[in-house]
Copies of this chain bind each other. A is one copy, B any other.
């Protein structure tokens, strides 16, 4: 089974948007064991999309088209697919009603051209997952030799594409392929080592695995999401794949120890929220250079409200003194971080207080260079502060500050010393 990816949108050709969809789809196809030999990007032009689709169909058994399903005049993917199939577009009344009702719930009048999104090429079916207003499509088509192939159409909006790919497209492709082998993967998320440090720790294991070929390991530095180690395994069924992944996870945990903070889609914030919830503890934060980013990340976790009390963003120094009760003095300092963590806990009536104060740049502050950050954790009688020098620009310094202070709390909640890199 071969599947190609076609990303539609003039903005992609012009470089106004980086096409992350094709990369993500490529990864999903690889994980599902489906070959993909070409990714093509083409603009919002009828003739060129048509030629591109026909060429892709000639080479492959299936094509995933993303983008061009919106309500505006330049969204023509539906029309082109109908032309390639040689069928008319029929308006789907259920979808039309659904789109109308979405606008009504929001108390807005629906511009008439939104109904174009309810047009479906005759013979195609709509994809059940539909988080936005544009339905995805599964379009069966016979090529010139009479071989049955398929075009999937999904919107370019990443979360809509993701829901449709995972819910319908990949399962449908695997069913069509009658795939005998199963592929699975597991991501070990780590924090506390550099990418090269991690590579060194795992070098021997990677060499061992390379001769064997199953499972395989790959690294991915993912900013605030941590440094990921991905294990990918093949097997005859789910059970065998799970066994291989379990064994490898255990082996790697033996090497990586406390660096591993979560698996797969769990991130540092959800790990912390879960740990606090289990222990029946609440948390409050005091932030300076991160400006609210620490609280924003924690509250991105659904049900954070069970443990997150709130935060004080003490960006101006006198807010640190007046609202948090910090002793006036240099604010990029160990004592300031300590008093901020204690102040957050006291003012916001929480069990745990976290603090971040430092220099995000572009300019240095209090004689401290950009990237100097003090991280504080107040947990029971235990108040710890660590000084770190974080690499990168303003945004990366802020991201690494957030994941690092949460990692300190994680280790302290497990009664381990909060070692920093």
Contact = CB atoms under 8 A, between A and B. Distances in A.
Given A42-B38, A310-B315, A106 B389 contact: yes
Given A293-B296, A295-B313, A323-B348, A30 B15 contact: yes
A15 B215 CA distance: 18
Given A19-B23, A308-B315, A316-B309, A197 B389 contact: no
A26 B72 CA distance: 23
Given A316-B309, A348-B319, A71 B287 contact: no
User: Size band of the A side of the interface?
Assistant: 35 or more
B20 A218 contact: no
Contacts of A70: 195
A316 B120 CA distance: 47
A110 B199 CA distance: 12
A312 interface: yes
A107 B206 CA distance: 27
A246 to B, nearest CB: 21
B304 A111 contact: no
B315 A291 contact: no
Contact of A111 (B102, B196, B361, B398): B196
B37 A27 contact: no
A393 B131 contact: yes
A305 B361 CA distance: 11
Given A292-B287, A315-B305, A393-B131, A37 B13 contact: yes
Contacts of A287: 292, 295
A45 interface: yes
Describe A's contact surface by its main secondary structure: mixed
Interface in A372-414: 389, 391, 393-395, 398
In this complex, which of A17, A157, A291 has the most chain B Cβ atoms within 10 angstroms of its Cβ?
A: A291
A333 interface: no
A11 B290 CA distance: 30
A129 to B, nearest CB: 13
Contact of A292 (B16, B289, B292): B292
A310 B134 CA distance: 40
Given A18-B23, A291-B299, 8 more contacts: A13-B38, A15-B22, A107-B389, A111-B196, A111-B200, A292-B313, A296-B296, A323-B348
27 contacts: A12-B23, A13-B30, A13-B36, A14-B27, A15-B24, A15-B26, A16-B220, A18-B23, A38-B40, A38-B48, A38-B52, A40-B41, A71-B195, A73-B203, A111-B200, A291-B300, A292-B299, A292-B311, A293-B299, A300-B394, A308-B315, A308-B316, A309-B315, A310-B312, A310-B316, A311-B312, A311-B313
The 8 A-B residue pairs with the shortest CB-CB distance, nearest first, are A291-B299, A15-B27, A292-B295, A292-B292, A311-B313, A15-B26, A293-B296, A39-B41
Interface of A: 10-20, 22-28, 30, 36-43, 45, 48, 52, 55, 70-74, 102, 105-108, 110-111, 113-114, 131, 157, 159, 194-197, 199-200, 203, 206, 218-221, 230, 285, 287, 289-296, 298-300, 302, 304-305, 308-316, 318-319, 322-323, 347-349, 361-362, 371, 389, 391, 393-395, 398, 421
